[in-house]
């Protein structure tokens, strides 16, 4: 039955809620409000922090000259974007954190949109909504609206932070608006993907692929001058072409807004042409049974992780391969500009003038995506429980301890595989450009982050057992939260005890130095304790539904 043909009964009482659209919109708002507050606060905080450090950085003539030299290094432009307007606080802030915030906002928009649209429909929770007075396009629009409102709030927070920091109003408005429009663009892309594909994983994967391709196109356009025209084909490229604080071009953002409106129109058209719980690309009506890895609880957990792990391996592996191929160029640049290297050292990143020191820093950052992976997998475990996909499994003679223990073990192994792939990809990249980095050193650097990743896994397990709603947040706290705490503490010269709260403060820069066995032991002990508490809580609580 087509979604467009569903209508309310003719004899519906007029005393019913006169504004069903408002109720649906509030439902969507409730589903994204917590993450939205964190996202807006994070974007505003990062922008304010970097803008506040500009005067201190530029007070040193050597550092100012080194920053201007960044524009001539292709590797720097490829990884971080073209450094434009570094002689202004606003331009410096846009270059330092603009792309990071844009990627963060785009990724959140994709995940949130597919979760509250295709995810809710797959779980059967849209059946009641679609049987009401609102047609399917209106229901979809009222779910896209709150996510776009978060994008607008993030844009407002960024603009306000830049204005309060004393930067030029035109550049602040342009950068804030561009970042918000980019988030809206990926909200629209995810909304369209949710109509094309009949399952949430496929819709999310397609939208994330669009984000990754857009970022890759921007990186190629920045790194290869002759291919600069590629910026017009990427949302990140259009954001770069706007040139806040220098060029202040409005046309690229108008094109981004037009593309967003077009994709929303396509999504609203597509939702009218598909059936309930189906997509424009319908699921296969039948296929041969796939019984591989269904013989036990352990193999079933491995089967569930294989597909998402493949996607993460491709993304993380490709990035670290690119990192390895630019390592020689960046380390040579930092050796020629000691002021920048000193600034990095003060921020907690030592030895960037050598390949081993540079890769040690990048491997420390690797803990964030790998930690994000384990948090996502444990959140998926909770989601499967909530959507009743684990009901039949839990009704079998399988203990709760075995069920969650298997999930934790398989996730830990998958995280180790992901870290190993990043280490090998970095080694291949460095070797391809005749750099000096041994494969063993690269693997040691990648494996050095595993205790920190297991700390995230333990925190996620604790949340699964006691506060399942907060699994994603607690799972990402040791890695992403710890990194942000370290950067902020170093930037504002916080007391040592504040810095020491972050696990990153105790992570040795391997392969530049040997691993700290004391830190490894403490992290593993805390991770084990959290996991044990989480398993105990999971055994005692009721299943969610």
Can you tell me whether residue 134 is helix, strand or coil? coil
Report pLDDT for 15: 45
Q: Does any domain span residue 338? A: yes
Do 277 and 307 belong together in one domain?
Answer: no
Do 276 and 305 belong together in one domain?
Answer: no
Q: What is the DSSP string of 445-509?
A: HHHTTHHHHHHHHHHHHHHHHH-GGGHHHHHHIIIIIHHHHHHHHHHTT--HHHHHHSGGGG---
Select, from the ranges 178-192, 199-213, 226-240, 333-347, the one with the highest average predicted confidence (pLDDT): 178-192
- CA–CA dist 422, 286 (Å, integer): 38
Q: Does any domain span residue 382? A: yes
Q: To the nearest whole percent, how much of the chain has pLDDT over 90?
A: 47
H helices within 224-275, ranges in order? 235-241, 251-272
Q: Who wins on pLDDT, 352 or 512?
A: 512
Report pLDDT for 526: 96
Q: What is the pLDDT of residues 267-298, one digit of tens each?
A: 999 999 888 878 888 766 666 777 777 788 88
Within 13 Å of residue 33, how many CA atoms lie on the same side as its CB?
7
Range of the domain at 363: 300-545
- CA–CA dist 200, 114 (Å, integer): 6
Q: Does any domain span residue 5? A: no
Residues 103 and 215 sit within 8 Å (Cβ to Cβ): yes
Residue 378, token pair as written in the block: 């444990």
Report pLDDT for 388: 80
Report pLDDT for 16: 47
Residue that terminates a domain, selected from 282, 312, 346? 282
Q: Does any domain span residue 359? A: yes
Report pLDDT for 339: 60
Q: Would you place residue 12 in the very low, low, confident or very high pLDDT band (cuts 50, 70, 90)?
A: very low
Q: What is the pLDDT of residues 393-437, one digit of tens each?
A: 777 888 999 999 999 999 999 999 999 999 999 999 999 888 888
Q: What is the pLDDT of residues 53-110, one digit of tens each?
A: 776 666 565 555 566 665 556 666 676 677 777 778 888 888 888 888 999 999 999 9
Average pLDDT rounded to a whole number, residues 198-210: 89
Report pLDDT for 499: 86
Do 312 and 200 belong together in one domain?
Answer: no
Residue 469, token pair as written in the block: 């709603």
Do 473 and 361 belong together in one domain?
Answer: yes
Do 429 and 499 belong together in one domain?
Answer: yes
Length of the chain: 545
Do 330 and 257 belong together in one domain?
Answer: no
Q: Does any domain span residue 414? A: yes
Q: Does any domain span residue 318? A: yes
Residue that terminates a domain, selected from 250, 282, 314? 282
Q: What is the pLDDT of residues 440-455, one digit of tens each?
A: 999 999 999 999 999 9
């Amino acid at each position: 039955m087509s979604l467009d043909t569903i209508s309310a009964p003719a004899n519906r009482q007029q005393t019913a809620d006169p504004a069903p659209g408002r109720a649906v919109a509030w439902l969507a708002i409730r589903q994204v409000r917590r993450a939205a507050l964190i996202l807006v606060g994070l974007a505003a905080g990062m922008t304010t922090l970097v803008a506040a450090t500009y005067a201190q950085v530029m007070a040193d003539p050597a550092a100012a000259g080194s920053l201007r030299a960044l524009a001539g290094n292709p590797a720097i432009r490829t990884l971080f974007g073209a450094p434009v307007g570094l002689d202004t606080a606003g331009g410096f802030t846009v270059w330092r954190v603009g792309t990071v915030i844009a990627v963060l906002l785009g990724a959140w928009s994709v995940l949130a949109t597919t979760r509250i649209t295709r995810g809710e429909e797959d779980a059967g929770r849209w059946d009641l909504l679609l049987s009401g007075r609102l047609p399917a396009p209106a229901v979809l629009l009222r779910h896209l609206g709150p996510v776009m409102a978060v994008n607008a709030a993030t844009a407002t927070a960024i603009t306000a932070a830049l204005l309060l920091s004393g930067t030029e109003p035109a550049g602040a408005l342009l950068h804030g608006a561009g970042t918000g429009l980019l988030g809206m663009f990926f909200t629209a892309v995810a909304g369209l993907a949710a109509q094309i594909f009949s399952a949430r994983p496929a819709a999310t994967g397609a939208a994330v692929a669009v984000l990754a391709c857009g970022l890759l196109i921007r990186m190629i356009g920045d790194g290869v001058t002759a291919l600069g025209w590629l910026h017009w084909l990427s949302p990140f490229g259009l954001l770069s072409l706007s040139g806040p604080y220098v060029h202040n071009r409005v046309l690229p953002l108008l094109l981004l807004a037009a593309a967003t409106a077009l994709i929303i129109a396509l999504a609203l058209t597509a939702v009218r042409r598909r059936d309930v719980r189906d997509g424009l690309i319908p699921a296969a009506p039948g296929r041969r049974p796939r019984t591989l890895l269904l013989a036990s609880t352990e193999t079933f957990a491995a089967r569930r992780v294989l597909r998402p792990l493949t996607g993460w391996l491709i993304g993380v592996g490709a990035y670290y391969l690119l990192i390895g191929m630019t390592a020689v160029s960046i380390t040579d640049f930092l050796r020629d500009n000691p002021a920048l290297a000193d600034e990095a050292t003060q921020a907690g990143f030592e030895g960037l003038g050598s390949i081993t020191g540079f890769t040690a820093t990048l491997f420390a950052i690797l803990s964030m995506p790998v930690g994000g992976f384990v948090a996502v997998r444990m959140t998926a475990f909770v989601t499967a429980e909530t959507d009743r996909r684990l009901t039949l499994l839990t009704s079998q003679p399988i203990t709760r301890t075995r069920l969650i223990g298997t999930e934790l073990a398989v996730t830990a192994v998958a995280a180790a595989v992901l870290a190993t792939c990043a280490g090998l990809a970095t080694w291949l990249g460095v070797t391809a450009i005749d750099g000096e980095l041994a494969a063993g050193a690269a693997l040691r650097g990648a494996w050095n982050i595993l205790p920190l990743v297991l700390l995230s896994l333990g925190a996620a397990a604790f949340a699964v057992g006691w506060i399942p709603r907060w699994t994603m947040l607690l799972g990402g706290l040791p890695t992403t939260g710890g990194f942000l705490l370290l950067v902020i503490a170093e930037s504002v010269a916080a007391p040592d005890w504040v810095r020491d709260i972050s696990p990153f403060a105790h992570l040795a820069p391997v392969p530049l130095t040997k691993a700290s066995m004391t830190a490894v032991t403490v992290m593993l002990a805390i991770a084990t304790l959290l996991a044990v508490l989480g398993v105990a809580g999971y055994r005692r609580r009721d299943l969610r539904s």
